[in-house]
A and B are shown apart, each in its own frame.
Chain A
Amino acid sequence: MSPRILSVDDSSLIRLAISRLFSAFDCEVLQAADGEQGLAAIRQHKPDLVILDYNMPVLDGIGMLRLLRADPEIARTRVIMLTANGAPETIATVARLGVRDYLTKPFEDAVLLAKATRLIPLVPRTPPSL
């Protein structure tokens, strides 16, 4: 079964950029616009990897992580933070919450792909035969 990735970011453009980036691979990319939607999507779809923003309305990335880790059914979900917030205190906090990797914006596609590949198997899509 192909891996499932969830992008949680209040910017629709960042979510679109992530979807485009992973569209070259055999995987499914889901989207959520804030932490609350993100938690609901994780409970419903059980993604293999979550790419999570920090500053978001409704429920921010830290709040979502705390609720995620407190729920035994989804607590082991793998998370990469992708955020403009590169403050050392924030990085330390999310590391304590089990975040597997941290990437600050601006980000390079190749770096995000490399970090994702360390956590989930990503196989390039086979081009349709003629």
Chain B
Amino acid sequence: MSDRITQTALDALATTAVREVLARQFQVEACAATPDLTARGADAATLGASVPLTGSALRGAVSLRLSPALARLLVERLVGQACGSPAEAQDLCQELCNILAGRMAATLGHEGAVIELGTPSLLGPHMTGDTAPAADLIHSSHWLCEHEPLVFALELRTIP
């Protein structure tokens, strides 16, 4: 699969996925940012989730980090009422990661890769997702959404 998709193409697909998912589901504009901008302050991207990707020809994971303030905003956009609990913020983080993983799996499917989504899991404040050892393709992008940070990452490894 990675023979067919280049790093540049993967970055473009991932960037489009982040922008479109946030715009369509949450009516939020995602603006590309630099890592130093997204790592500011105590309310930085401390919520995290990961979704494993498996297929006959590849393995990998999608992971997401965002600030609790952004999670609260996205909950409000999704259900039309204020976020009531940390559990709702965590649910939002996992569901957003799941939607992004699904979008990436479908897009990569058009490139000829059959990919199954695993069950989303939460990440601790300093954990990364289930990384694929010696990943062939790695995407990582930093975003600001309504001035709040979001970090999206994708790793893919071809199975010989």
Contacts and interface: CB of A to CB of B under 8 A. Distances in A.
Contacts of A14: 78, 95
B103 A86 contact: yes
Interface in A2-21: 11-14, 16-17, 20
Nearest to A23: B80
Contact of B105 (A20, A57, A85): A85
Contact of B106 (A12, A55, A57, A87): A87
Counting chain A residues whose Cβ lies within 8 A of the other chain, the interface size class is 20 to 34
B74 to A, nearest CB: 9
B117 A104 contact: no
Interface in A63-97: 83-89
A105 interface: yes
Nearest to B20: A106
Interface residues of chain B: helix, strand, loop or mixed (majority): helix
Contact of A12 (B21, B88, B119): B88
Given A55-B119, A85-B105, A11 B91 contact: yes
A105 B98 CA distance: 9
A17 B91 CA distance: 13
Nearest to A60: B119
B117 A89 contact: no
Contacts of B81: 20
Nearest to B24: A106
A124 B101 CA distance: 35
A57 B98 CA distance: 13
Given A13-B75, A89-B114, A104-B106, A84 B91 contact: no
A105 B78 CA distance: 12
Contact of A20 (B26, B80, B103): B80
B25 A20 contact: no
Given A84-B103, A86-B106, A104-B106, A13 B78 contact: yes
A102 B31 CA distance: 30
B118 to A, nearest CB: 8
A20 B20 CA distance: 23
A11 B102 contact: no
Contacts of A108: 24
B117 A85 contact: yes
Given A88-B109, A106-B26, 9 more contacts: A11-B91, A14-B78, A20-B80, A55-B98, A85-B105, A85-B117, A86-B109, A104-B102, A104-B106
